[in-house]
Chain A
Amino acid sequence: MKISQKISPFIRNLNIKSILQLKKHFKGDDIFKLVSALFASSIFLLLGLMVYELVKGSWLSIQTFGLNFIVGTKWDPAVSKVFGTLPLILGTLVTSAIALLIGVPISLGVGLALSEYMPKKFGLAVSFLVELLAAVPSVIYGLWGIFVLIPFLRNHVYSCLQAVFGFIPLFSGPIYGGGVLTGGIVLAIMIIPTVSAVMRDLFLAVPNSQREAMIALGATKWETAKTVISYARSGVIGAAILGLGRAVGETMAITMVIGNKFQVWPSSLFDAWYTMAAIIANELLEATYDLYISALINVGLVLLFVTLIINVLARLIVWRTLRLTRGIARE
C-alpha cells in the first residue's frame, strides 16, 4: 500500500494543488524503496553468480570424468590424473552420521532442559552459554581437538573401547587418536549449539495448554515433555537435518582431526579418512594444473548441492512446524 493512500483520509478535504505538492513530497519514497529492493535482490545475483562460477570452474572436470567423478574411487593428481570422489562423499556422510547419532540426542536433552526443566531465568543464562559455544570459531575447535581431545580420547576412551568391544571389526585396528570417530565427535560438539537452540525454540513455541492438559491428567514431567516433543515432532527432525547441513560443510576442525587419508572405506572407527571439505582446504592451494583445480572446484559444487538440498529441506520443515504451532497457539 502506498503511503499516500494510507493517509488519504486526512488529505481528502485538501485541494488538488496541495495534493500534487504532497505527491512531489513523497517522490523520494519510491526511489528509496526501489534502491532498497535492488540491494535486497542482489542476493539472487550473488547466488546465481556462485552457481555459475562453480559450474564454469568445474566444467573441465565434468567434461573429462562425467558421472565417474561421483562414483570413481581413485584420486591421483600425481601420476594418472584421475579424480573420483566417492570415498570423500562416503567420508563426509559417515562422519556427519556419527555426529548426528551423538549430537541429536544430546541436543534434544539440552533443548528439553532449557525449555521444560529449568526455571525460566536460569534457562536464559544457560542458553547464552550454549550460544557462546556456537560463536567459538571452527579452527579453535580444531586446535582443541588436536591438543586436548585427541590425547584424552586416545589414552582414556579408545583404549577402553577396544578392550571391551575389540572383537568387533569396527573397534579393532591401531589407534592413532585422530580418525573417523574423533571427527564425528568434534562435529557433534559443533552442531549441538545450533540444533539445541532450534529445538528449544520449537519446544517453547508449543502452546501451554498442551502441558496443562497433560498435568491435569496426572502426567509426570517426562510424560508432559513427551507430548511437547511429539507436538513439535517434524520440527525436531528438521533441526536434526539442519545439524546435518552444518556437519557436512564443516571444514577446518574436521581437517585437523580426521587424519586426511584418501581411502574408500576405513578399516575401523579409529582409522583416518577424508571429507569433501577437507580435501578442498588441503589441496586447492597446491593444485598445479587446470584439471586438478577444476576437479577441486567440482568437489565444491557437489558440496554446494548437497548442503543446498539439506538446508532447504530443513528450513521448510522447521518453518512449517513453527508456523503451525504458533498458528494453533494464537487460536
Chain B
Amino acid sequence: MADSQIDKGYCEGIETDHHKFRVVKNHLVQFLVYLALFSALVPLFSILYEVVVRGFSTISIEFFIKPTPTVGEVGGGVANAIQGTLITIGLASFIGVPIGLMSGIFLSEYGESKLSVAVRFFYDVLSGIPSIVIGVFAYALITRSIGFSVIAAAFALAVMMIPIVARTTEEALKLVPMSIREAAIALGIPRWKTTVTVVLSGAKKAIVTGLLLSIARIAGESAPVLVSMGFWRWWFAGLDRPVANLALNVFIFAMSPFENWIALAWGSALVLILLVLGISVAARVLTRGRY
C-alpha cells in the first residue's frame, strides 16, 4: 500500500490532494514557527526601545551625582543607588565567589562521585528557588536579628550567585584539555598546584565571564533586596543599615505617583539594562568560539 502511495505522490509526479494538503500544512507550520519567533522577540525590542528612549531623556550629569530626591523636589539622581548597588554586589561577591569557585573546582577536577552528583543536583535545585524565597530566608536569618541591613541583602544575593558561579566555573574548567593537566603532572607538579596555577589560568577568561554573568544577574535582582533590606533614600551609613539599590529604585519609583520619580525609574532602568546587557554581550565576545 505504501508503495502505491509513493508512486502516485512522488515518483510519477502526480499531485494528489493528500500531497497538496501536506505541502500546504508544511508551509503553514513554517509560517507559525517564524511567527512564534517574531512574537518572542517583539518584547525584547520594545523593552530596549522604550527604556533607551524614555531613560535617555532623564539622564543628565545631575542624574549621576545627586541622591534620591525627596517628594516634590525637582531633579535629583541615583548616585546613592549606584554607590549602594556597588557595595551590595561587592559584599555578595565576597561571600559568594569563593564558595562558588571552590565548588566548581570540586565538581570539575575530582571526577564523578556520589557527592558530586548530589552537589550538582542541589545546585540546580537552589538555582530554581524563587528569589523572593531567598529574600525571605535572609529576612528570617539576618534581618530579624540585626534589622534591615546591607548585610542581609548581600547574603541573599550571594546565595543566588553561588550556583551560577559554581556551574560556570565547572564548565570553564572542563573545557581545559586533559593533556594540559597530564603535562603538568608529568612534570612532577602536585595535582592541587596544577589546578590552581595551570588549569585555573587556562580557564581564566571563561571563569571571569561566569563571574560577570552572575554579577549581572544579581545586579538586576530586586525582590530579595526589597524584603531583606527595604528602600533607602540616603547614602551608605554603615553595614548594619540599608543602602539604596538601583533595581529596587525602579520598583519603588515606578509604583509611586510622582512624575519626577517615574522619570527616575526609567533612567535607573536604562543604567541597569546597559549594565546587564553590556555584561552579557561582553561575556559573549570573551568566550567567542568556545560554546
A residues bordering B, Cβ < 8 Å? 1, 3, 6-7, 25-26, 28-29, 31-33, 35-37, 39-44, 46-47, 49-50, 53-54, 56-57, 105-110, 112-114, 117, 126, 128-133, 135-144, 146-148, 189, 192-193, 196, 218, 220-223, 225, 242, 245, 248-252, 255-256, 277, 280-281, 284-285, 293, 296-297, 300, 303-304, 307-308, 310-312, 314-315
CB-based contact B26/A40 at 8 Å: no
> Chain B nearest CB: distance from A174 CB in Å?
21
CB-based contact A36/B230 at 8 Å: no
Complex Cα gap A311–B176 (Å):
31
Cross-chain contact of B280 among A47, A49, A131 (Cβ < 8 A): A131
Complex Cα gap A105–B40 (Å):
11
CB-based contact B191/A26 at 8 Å: yes
With a CB–CB cut-off of 8 A, which chain B residues contact A42? 99, 103
CB-based contact A32/B192 at 8 Å: yes
Contact A252 to B223, CB < 8 A, known contacts A26-B190, A129-B41: yes
Complex Cα gap A136–B190 (Å):
43
Contact A135 to B193, CB < 8 A, known contacts A222-B26, A249-B133: no
With a CB–CB cut-off of 8 A, which chain B residues contact A126? 37, 41
Q: Name the interface residues of B9-39: CB closer than 8 Å to any CB of A.
A: 9-10, 22-23, 25-26, 29-30, 32-37, 39
Q: Within 8 Å of chain A (Cβ to Cβ): is B129?
A: yes
Cross-chain contact of A54 among B26, B35, B136 (Cβ < 8 A): B136
Contact A137 to B39, CB < 8 A, known contacts A36-B102, A53-B140: no
Q: Within 8 Å of chain A (Cβ to Cβ): is B152?
A: no
With a CB–CB cut-off of 8 A, which chain B residues contact A135? 216-217, 220, 276-277, 280
Contact A222 to B133, CB < 8 A, known contacts A113-B37, A139-B220, A143-B254: no
CB-based contact B133/A146 at 8 Å: no
Interface of chain B, helix or strand or loop or mixed? helix
> Chain B nearest CB: distance from A241 CB in Å?
11
Binds A, one of B63-71, B75-83, B201-209, B266-274: B266-274
Cross-chain contact of A39 among B106, B163, B251 (Cβ < 8 A): B106
CB-based contact A245/B23 at 8 Å: no
**Chain A residue with minimal CB distance to B136?**
A300
Size of B's binding interface in residues, CB under 8 A? 98
With a CB–CB cut-off of 8 A, which chain A residues contact B230? 285
Complex Cα gap A320–B188 (Å):
40
Contact A56 to B255, CB < 8 A, known contacts A36-B106, A140-B51: no
With a CB–CB cut-off of 8 A, which chain B residues contact A310? 128
CB-based contact B125/A312 at 8 Å: yes
CB-based contact A108/B36 at 8 Å: yes
Q: Within 8 Å of chain A (Cβ to Cβ): is B179?
A: no
**Chain A residue with minimal CB distance to B273?**
A140
CB-based contact A251/B131 at 8 Å: yes
CB-based contact B29/A139 at 8 Å: no
Q: Name the interface residues of B220-247: CB closer than 8 Å to any CB of A.
A: 220-223, 226-227, 230, 247
Q: Within 8 Å of chain A (Cβ to Cβ): is B162?
A: yes
> Chain B nearest CB: distance from A16 CB in Å?
18
* Interface pairs (5), CB distance under 8 Å: A31-B192, A41-B119, A44-B118, A106-B40, A144-B51
Complex Cα gap A37–B109 (Å):
11
CB-based contact B40/A110 at 8 Å: yes
What 13 new A-B contacts, CB under 8 Å, besides A40-B115, A53-B141? A36-B102, A46-B162, A108-B36, A110-B36, A137-B250, A137-B272, A137-B276, A220-B22, A223-B26, A245-B128, A249-B132, A300-B136, A315-B128
**Chain B residue with minimal CB distance to A196?**
B40
Q: Within 8 Å of chain A (Cβ to Cβ): is B139?
A: yes
Q: Within 8 Å of chain A (Cβ to Cβ): is B43?
A: yes
CB-based contact A136/B222 at 8 Å: no
**Chain B residue with minimal CB distance to A221?**
B26
> Chain A nearest CB: distance from B116 CB in Å?
7
CB-based contact B132/A300 at 8 Å: yes
Cross-chain contact of A3 among B99, B139, B191 (Cβ < 8 A): B191
Q: Name the interface residues of B80-109: CB closer than 8 Å to any CB of A.
A: 98-99, 102-103, 105-107, 109
> Chain A nearest CB: distance from B45 CB in Å?
9
Contact A39 to B102, CB < 8 A, known contacts A138-B223, A147-B50, A277-B130: yes
**Chain A residue with minimal CB distance to B28?**
A222
Cross-chain contact of A36 among B36, B110, B226 (Cβ < 8 A): B110
With a CB–CB cut-off of 8 A, which chain A residues contact B115? 37, 40-41
With a CB–CB cut-off of 8 A, which chain B residues contact A47? 122, 125-126
